[in-house]
Chains A and B, each alone.
Chain A
Amino acid sequence: MKTMRSVILDEADRWLFPVVLLVSVYLTFRGHNAPGGGFIGGLVASAAFVLRYLTGRHREDPIYEVFRPHTILGAGMLVSTITALAPLFFGDSLLESHIWKWKIPVFGELKIVSSTFFDLGVYILVIGVVLSILVALGIDQDENEDNPNEAPA
């Protein structure tokens, strides 16, 4: 897949990647009141990574060096599980929502519902799922084809 690189796709990725990621975060947080949410946000973010993979630019992407997909997967699971379990320590039932409201000058009222963190966990987890499939079926296979005598790490 490294032989054919499209300049248009490269440029598109250069500009779209950060924008799509930003949109995905936006979708995640607005999910509570309008279409969106962690699952959708995670899928959108994953689409950005898939696009980057299709351009072949993922080789320069530090995210594969810093985190392994399974680490992201685990982090998402951890965030969701902790949010789900947290109310138990305050005598509430599993996944009980708590709503915080703060008045912030200039911006007005800020409202945070505890389930947002749960959704955030879903967001991270979905990215982890897609990335691990991407690495397993895509990136590792490419490397296999590049140098068939060496197994991927």
Chain B
Amino acid sequence: MTLLLLAHLLVAAVILTALRSRPRLAAFLGIGVLLASATTTALLSARPTQATESWEWIGELGLRIDLALDGMATLMVLVISLLGAIVLWYSINYFSDHVAYVRFVGIFVIFAGAMSGLVMSADLFTMFVFWELTSVCSFLLIGMNDESASARASALRALLVTGAGGLCLLAGVTLFQIAAGTSSFTELAAQSPSGTLITVAALLALVGAFTKSAQFPFHFWLPGAMSAPTPVSAYLHSATMVKAGIVLIARLAPIVGHDDIWRWTIVLAGGTTMVFGGVRAMRQTDAKLLLAHSTVSQLGFLTILMGLGVPGATYAGVAHLLAHAVFKAGLFLSVGIVDHASGTRDIRKLSGVGRSMPVVAWLTGLSAASMAGLIPLFGFATKEKALVALLDADEKVGLVAQVALGFVVAGSVLSVAYSVRLMRGLFGTKPGIEPTPIHHPSWWGLVIPMSLTVVGSVFAGLMASSIGKWLDSPAQALDSKAYGKLALWPGINTAFLLSVGVILIGAFVARLIPTQPWRNPIKISGENIFQYLYDGLITTAKRITRVTQSGSLLAYNAVVVLVIIFVLAAALLAGTDSGVTELTFADSFFQFIVVLLACAFTFGIAFTQQRFVAALLLGGLGFACAVIFVMFGAPDLALTQILVETLIIVVFLFVLRQLPRTFAHKNKFAPRSIRIAIATTLGVLVALFTVMVSGARTAPTTGDEYTTLALPEGGGRNVVNVILVDFRGVDTLGEITVLAVAAVGVANLVHMANRRRRPGGPEHVESNTSEGVPQ
């Protein structure tokens, strides 16, 4: 299994690097790896023992990568790779830009791999890793059209929402680990833990699942993600991304499903999503947006079924998951075909398309019928099962099940209505509108892959009882008591009568609602709230930045110096006996002279008016220090000091070219007297501190150890150098990284300043000349 996941990654790497100019080959390679994944999974699942793999990841934390190919994983991997292959096939003829297409195929394959990993995860932490990977991939896919501002905005929004959810999930997963001592699904299910901590953990995980699966109130990113190309939408909304949350809920339900808070959260959030999504779908005039809202609605349905933690509902959930993946992929591909053929997706403009493309219309009709839950399609069998399960659950879980049933019935009415709206909008002939001109789509490229999904819906519907038997295994992987039967003709019972009622009312509702968009009665939407929070965050960040990053060198210096003064003063006041008994005035006459010289330079710097003179004197001070280093027997240090001082003078020359010749001494915020006071205090404190510290050492120095080890261990006689490149080599590595970053930063800053100064460019920034001594 690990190999399978790595194969996705490898193929993606090959596609992204080597096949940039060979889009067809890239697509075939992608289809190949997806089909291989499906075949391997089918073969592995046919074995009597369940395939599991476990790798040590971070041993100290006890983290492992645990994969298990149970029934649920098998079902999902098959859906992911087969639908993925169909969508890829379809996409070959959909894109025109080759470079973008190859990138699409590459990310698509990684996405399929990440999603397969997610469903195979047998452990919460493992799942989290793949979870985040799918978030990143979906960001890249939604934002594929990177020149469109709205596509970038939607991609960012999707990433922020799912990323925030991901953080909640991580917190939840960690809490599970803390409260139950394990993060493995099977061990957690065996413990069946409870308690406040577990409830909190479960709710946090639910927030993650809700953001990913676009549940109320986080549903808004999904319709926004429609700015992605249609094949991306088809895949994201049928088999992958949004199903991740459903899979997580399904895996957690057997563990925490008995909790009432969990149950109510699931039913209320899922139910609201199901009904609101349906209502919103009825308002859309863009066929793709209509489908997006229908996806939101269907996801609400799946959330209820999977999350209720009732065996029958879990079984129905698994079945409907499959049904939804198949019909929704088909519907998106159909919309793509109509869009491709007519150049529009607006159902107010399309007219007479059904007459000019009868085959596409019929095939789409079958998918839509499956979505509406009509006999003899698969969607009917699964929805029927769901109704039966919810009717039965009433005895076991009481009121929650009745509320859930209410939501599901209302949502189903709407799903019939929006299926009708979609079909009539796409293919109907509208009075007063000219028939839309059509150029016929490629059969092999677009229609055949789409029809495969329709065949899936019809075939699964006709074979409902045998498919139903096969679905026992995925359902039991989630809940050992979950089994059931699917039937094409269940006989006349309560659920069947409900279904008939739902279809009739749905059709009536569809008649009632006009094609024109009607006004939204509710003003507050998740999208607005998100935008409000997002804007608020950015504004606050800007305000804080404006206060803390004023751009004044004087202010920065003041903060740094005052902090140092504060810390030093506190240390000196708190410090006990320093241990310094006597201070030597000077070791030699020469030393005294050098220090005197250094003092003279310092006074010079403080009193000169010329920037250039100050820079030269600063260099002189540096050389004086170097001489002192030599006297104390540190030639390496002295050599470095001399070289650095020399180069710094040159750098000063560069900088001074851009600055006024003399210092500006007037500043209303910091008059001269205050600056002198602060500088003097700092100087005195540093000097005092240095003296105190020199006598305060209690631990032995590491110097002796390094000196003895330098030759045998580091192979060198120069201890300083051996320390730099060997003993403390990691420090050096860090330092040179900082150097490199600083150099690149300087180059870029100067480059930016040059650009601003160019005539015609933005206003040239006012240079701040009120700072004190340049550093």
Chain A residues close to B by CB (< 8 Å): 31-40, 43-44, 46-47, 50, 54, 69-70, 73-74, 76-77, 80-81, 84, 94-95, 97, 99, 111, 113, 115-116, 118-119, 121-122, 125-126, 128-130, 132-133, 135-138, 140-141, 144, 148-149, 151-152
Contact = CB atoms under 8 A, between A and B. Distances in A.
Nearest to B744: A70
B747 A69 contact: yes
7 contacts: A37-B724, A95-B725, A133-B651, A140-B751, A141-B657, A141-B658, A148-B758
A32 B721 contact: yes
Contacts, number: 155
- Most B CB contacts (10 A, CB to CB) among A32, A84, A122, A125 go to A32
A37 B636 contact: yes
B643 A128 contact: no
9 closest residue pairs by CB, A with B:
A32-B716, A43-B643, A137-B654, A95-B729, A113-B715, A115-B725, A136-B750, A33-B717, A129-B743
A129 B742 contact: yes
A68 B708 CA distance: 42
Interface in B725-747: 725-726, 729-730, 732-733, 736-737, 739-740, 742-744, 746-747
Contacts of A46: 647
A81 B737 CA distance: 10
Nearest to A151: B758
B729 A47 contact: no
A73 to B, nearest CB: 5
Nearest to A115: B725
A126 B739 contact: yes
Nearest to B655: A137
Contacts of B79: none
Given A129-B743, A133-B746, A40 B647 contact: no
Contacts of A81: 733
Contacts of A47: 643, 646-647
Interface of B: 635-636, 639-640, 643-644, 646-647, 650-651, 654-655, 657-658, 713-718, 720-722, 724-726, 729-730, 732-733, 736-737, 739-740, 742-744, 746-747, 750-751, 754-755, 757-759
A115 B746 contact: no
A135 B714 CA distance: 37
Contact of A132 (B717, B732, B744): B744
- B-side interface mostly: helix
Contacts of B747: 69-70, 132-133, 135-136
Contacts of A32: 714-718, 721-722, 725
A80 B729 CA distance: 10
Contacts of B750: 136-137, 140-141
A149 B754 CA distance: 11
Given A84-B733, A115-B725, A43 B640 contact: yes
Contact of A111 (B715, B729, B742, B759): B715
Contacts of B730: 84, 94-95
Contacts of A95: 725-726, 729-730, 733
